[in-house]
Amino acid sequence: MLAKRIIPCLDVKDGKVVKGINFIDIKEVGDPVQCAIEYNRQGADEITFLDITATHEGRGTMIDVVRRTAQNVFVPLCVGGGIRTIDDFRDILRAGADKVSVNSAAVHNPELIREAADKFGSQCVVVAIDAKRDGKGSFHVVINGGRIDTGIDAVEWAQRVYKLGAGEILLTSMDTDGTKNGFDIELTDTISNMLDIPVIASGGCGCLEHFSDVFEKTQASAALAASLFHYGELTVEQVKQHLAKHAIPVRKIKA
Amino acid sequence: MIAIIDYGAGNLFSVKNALNYIGFESCFTKDADELRKADKLILPGVGAFPDAMKMLNASGLVPTIKEQALKKPLLGICLGMQILFEKGYEFYECEGLGLIEGSVKKIESCGLKIPHIGWNDLTALTPCPLMNDVPEQSYVYFDHSFCAETADEHIAAYTTYGQRVPALVMSGMVYGAQYHPEKSGNVGLTMLKNFCTL
């Protein structure tokens, strides 16, 4: 039976792991390669790096982080953050990543999704959608780390990126992100029900029950969390044991 | 030396990283002589069946691959596994390498999400050396929309996704993994090691 995936996310700046609450206050902690190795040991089904570096030098460092991780960790590796062009895709994939996630650049240039899917295959094109309630019962796509409301309807955008060739959707709720009150069930349910491609739920996870909740109440294929794992509040192993008790299929690994 | 066939399709780096990690030397090659000299061949691939066959045909390597597959172990991975079969039906009917009897068709969705992406468990069917030391119901990483149809004798292990999905197939010295052993954690590394030590 297909297992629900648990994906730890590491925010990386200038080659170091950081974790921002609501994408703003940033403090530095740790080596991303060592963190990825530890998550792999805990049974992570996939690892995501989000590159929040702004400088060119920082980007080069990120490629090196990806390369060193791919030499030591043999589960799928997804890299996002600042991807703008087909060349960015190529550089990240060549460094050993399996998937690339695009966010703002896809909004500015939706054709990038189609081009990347044609060139590298849909399996490596993850479209990250940051969504926020508009107060009138809909969700809007926000970009630039939540700072700009594009006014685009998130449901329509998800359908569009699917048609353009996205292989998966990484769906982050800006309303729940950083709150630790649980995943955004309404948003995740709406988008995951509507699309054939997998949806990764992200934003707001604070305890074990939130993981079982999102899988019991939505069609999400995977759940992503950052600070929870990063600060050692929970291990991937604990999450999987909890899900197994709820009869949710997970990949068990033997040490 | 293990030759990873570089015909323009697929994530070759992951395969090489995994082989390095378990201590086996490999090279990327599009040279027929190198394929002849290699101890074993790996045929990677992502994308679509007809595109991969087009690229493989354009590389001029098809006759060498067919001839070498009778002499040394060959492992196709993901799309590289699919093109080992006689025919594919992605977009339109397309000839494959014909190294394993059978064809490749779209997975019946049965309300499930397609592509079949993620970790799914294996059930062994016909004994295969690549399954040595692999515990029953081990999870491996899949990412595909099409799947093989072939006789049980060619199916070393299958998974279930609405239907029975052949996961590890074989015929003579030709092996094919629908999943990505190079992305399937320790289980995948064990299988690659089994292949490298055939």
Q: How far is the alpha carbon of A241 from chain B, nearest alpha carbon, in Å? A: 16
The pLDDT assigned to B10 comes to 66
Q: Which burial class, exposed, middle or buried, applies to A255 when counting CB atoms under 10 A from its CB (0-12, 13-18, 19+)?
A: exposed
Helix (H) or strand (E) holding B146: strand B146-149
CATH of the domain at B179: 3.40.50.880
The answer as to whether A50 is a domain residue is yes
Determine the longest span between alpha carbons in chain B, in angstroms: 47
Neighbours of A125 (CB within 10 A): 28
Q: Which of B21, B47, B119 faces A251 most closely, judged by CB atoms?
A: B119
Tell me if A198 and B183 make a contact (CB, 8 A cut-off).
no
Q: Which of B14, B20, B113 faces A197 most closely, judged by CB atoms?
A: B113
Contacts of A41 (CB under 8 A, 6+ apart): none
Which residues of chain A does B192 touch, with a Cβ-Cβ cutoff of 8 Å? Answer: none
Do the bridges between strand B100-106 and strand B146-149 make them parallel or antiparallel, or are there none, so unpaired? antiparallel
Stretch A174-192: mean pLDDT, rounded? 96
Question: Is A14 tagged catalytic?
Answer: no
pLDDT digits (tens, 9 = 90+) for A148-174: 999 999 999 999 999 999 999 999 999
The size of chain B, in residues, is 198
At A47, which amino acid appears?
A: I
Total domain count for chain A?
1
At A80, which amino acid appears?
A: G
Cα separation, B178 vs B79, in Å, equals 7
Q: Which positions 8-27 of B are in contact with A (Cβ < 8 Å)?
A: 11, 13-14, 17-18, 20-21
Q: Which domain holds residue A100?
A: 5-245
The answer as to whether A194 is a domain residue is yes
pLDDT digits (tens, 9 = 90+) for A34-91: 889 999 999 999 999 999 876 777 777 899 999 999 999 999 999 998 899 999 999 9
Q: Which domain holds residue B69?
A: 2-196
Kindly indicate whether the ipTM for this predicted assembly is greater than 0.85, answering yes or no.
yes
Tell me if B113 and A196 make a contact (CB, 8 A cut-off).
yes
The pLDDT assigned to A254 comes to 63
pLDDT band at A138 (very low <50, low <70, confident <90, very high): very high
Total domain count for chain B?
1
The answer as to whether A254 is a domain residue is no
CATH of the domain at A131: 3.20.20.70
The answer as to whether A255 is a domain residue is no
B177 in contact with A at a CB cutoff of 8 Å?
Answer: no
Closest CA to B75 of B189, B157, B159, B195: B195
The answer as to whether A115 is a domain residue is yes
Question: Is B144 tagged catalytic?
Answer: no
Low-confidence residues in chain B, pLDDT < 50: none
The answer as to whether A250 is a domain residue is no
Q: Is the pLDDT of residue A25 over 50?
A: no
Q: Are A173 and A181 in contact (CB under 8 A)?
A: no
Tell me if A123 and B21 make a contact (CB, 8 A cut-off).
no
Q: Which residue among B78, B94, B128, B147 is the active-site one?
A: B78
Alpha helices in B48-169 (DSSP H): 49-59, 62-68, 79-82
Cα dist from A230 to A36, A114, A252, whole Å: 10, 34, 21
Which residues of chain A does B116 touch, with a Cβ-Cβ cutoff of 8 Å? Answer: 2
At A104, give phi and psi (nearest 5°): -55, -45
Which residues of chain B does A123 touch, with a Cβ-Cβ cutoff of 8 Å? Answer: 46, 115, 117, 143
Tell me if A1 and B121 make a contact (CB, 8 A cut-off).
yes
Cα separation, B8 vs B26, in Å, equals 17
The answer as to whether A119 is a domain residue is yes
The pLDDT assigned to A240 comes to 97
Which residues of chain A does B11 touch, with a Cβ-Cβ cutoff of 8 Å? Answer: 93, 98, 124
Q: Is the pLDDT of residue A27 over 60?
A: no
Contacts of A137 (CB under 8 A, 6+ apart): none
Q: Which of A1, A123, A196 faces B114 most closely, judged by CB atoms?
A: A196
B190 to chain A: closest CA residue: A74
Answer positive or negative: Cα dihedral of A106, A110, A115, A118.
Answer: positive
The pLDDT assigned to A249 comes to 97
Crossing angle for the helix pair A56-70 and B12-21, nearest 10 degrees?
50
Helix H, strand E, coil C: the string for chain A is CCCCEEEEEEEEECCEEEEEHHHCCEEECCCHHHHHHHHHHHCCCCEEEEECCCCHHHHHHHHHHHHHHHCCCCCCEEEECCCCCHHHHHHHHHCCCCEEEECHHHHHCCHHHHHHHHHHCHHHEEEEEEEEECCCCCEEEEECCCCEEEEEEHHHHHHHHHHHCCCEEEEEECCCCCCCCCCCHHHHHHHHHHCCCCEEEECCCCCHHHHHHHHHHCCCCEEEECHHHHCCCCCHHHHHHHHHHCCCCCCCCCC
A99 to chain B: closest CA residue: B11
- The position carrying tokens 């995977």 is A222
B86 in contact with A at a CB cutoff of 8 Å?
Answer: no
Neighbours of B21 (CB within 10 A): 17
